[in-house]
Structure 1
Amino acid sequence: MFQTHRSAIFPVQYDPNVSLWNWVELGVDAPFFMLEIASQTEDGDFVTHRMTSNINVLRDHAGTSDAGVLKRVFLLSPGDVNGSDAFQLDALDSVCSSPNNSINMLFKLTDGRTLHFSLGEDQLDESHYTVQVFKRVPETT
């Protein structure tokens, strides 16, 4: 979740349906997903990036989406998730959740590391994460 502040609104708005911001605040100390989405245009692929902390947004884009083709997903994880003292951005291989609570998530990174996230609950054994939300499609050459 992002928090926006009126003081951060960009003074020029090009589209009445879109608000531009000089900055936004991370509203929760939780993992965020950065989705890299490619849309085809006459001039080739147009790539955009969307950030969300909502696992359902990731799930929706991992399936068929009108927004374009999901190319890659990155995890922006807080220090208590990644074991450091700061946020880190890593490429995701897959995300699974617990069938009993979708907030319990297991992140497998492309570098082989595994990270867990839950709200106030003990970390579950990896065998409890059985609902696959996202799996990276291998790149073709």
Structure 2
Amino acid sequence: MFQTHHSAIFPIQYDPNVRLWKWIEFGVDAPFFMLEIVSQTEDGDFVTHRMTSSLNVLRDHVSTSDAGVLKRVFLLSPGYVNGSDAFELDVLDSVCSSPSNPMKMLFKLTDGRTLHFSLGEEPFNESDYTVQVFKRAP
């Protein structure tokens, strides 16, 4: 979830259907997914990035998307998720969630680390995360 502020509106708007922002604010201190999407054009590949905190948005881009082909997914994780004192951006290998609570997520990174996110104080049990939302293509 992002917050936008009127003072951050970019003064030049090229498309009446799109609003540009000089900056945005994270509405929640939670993990975010940055989707790297590749579209084919007559001039070659065109790469865009979309950021979301929604598993449903990620799931929609994994299955099919009119935006292009999902090339990579990055995890922007807050310090309390990644064990540091700051946000980190890492390449995701996979994301799984709990069937009973989709806000419980298990992140496997390409560097071998495993991170998890839960809104509750429940003890971590990796076997609770059985719904695969995303798996990186080999």
Task: Give the structure-2-normalised TM-score.
Answer: 0.98
Q: 5+ unaligned residues in a row in structure 2: which ranges? A: none
Q: Which residue of 2 aligns with 1:18?
A: 18
Shift of 1:124: 3.1
Shift of 1:128: 1.0
Counterpart of 1:133 in 2: which secondary structure? strand
Q: Is the 8 A contact 1:98 1:129 kept in 2?
A: yes
Q: How many aligned residue pairs are there?
A: 138
Q: Tell me the distance in 2 between the aligned counterparts of 1:120 and 1:97.
A: 14
Q: Which residue of 2 aligns with 1:93?
A: 93
Q: Tell me the distance in 1 between the aligned counterparts of 2:16 and 2:67.
A: 20
Shift of 1:8: 0.3
Q: Which residue of 2 aligns with 1:122?
A: 122
What's the Cα RMSD here? 0.7
What are the residue-to-residue correspondences of 1:1-141 with 2, within 5 Å?
1-138=1-138
AA partner of residue 48 (structure 2): T
Q: Tell me the distance in 2 between the aligned counterparts of 1:67 and 1:76.
A: 21
Q: Tell me the distance in 1 between the aligned counterparts of 2:51 and 2:65.
A: 16
Following TM superposition, the consecutive aligned residue runs of length 4 or more in structure 1 with deviations greater than 4 angstroms are none
Shift of 1:120: 2.0
Task: Give the structure-1-normalised TM-score.
Answer: 0.96
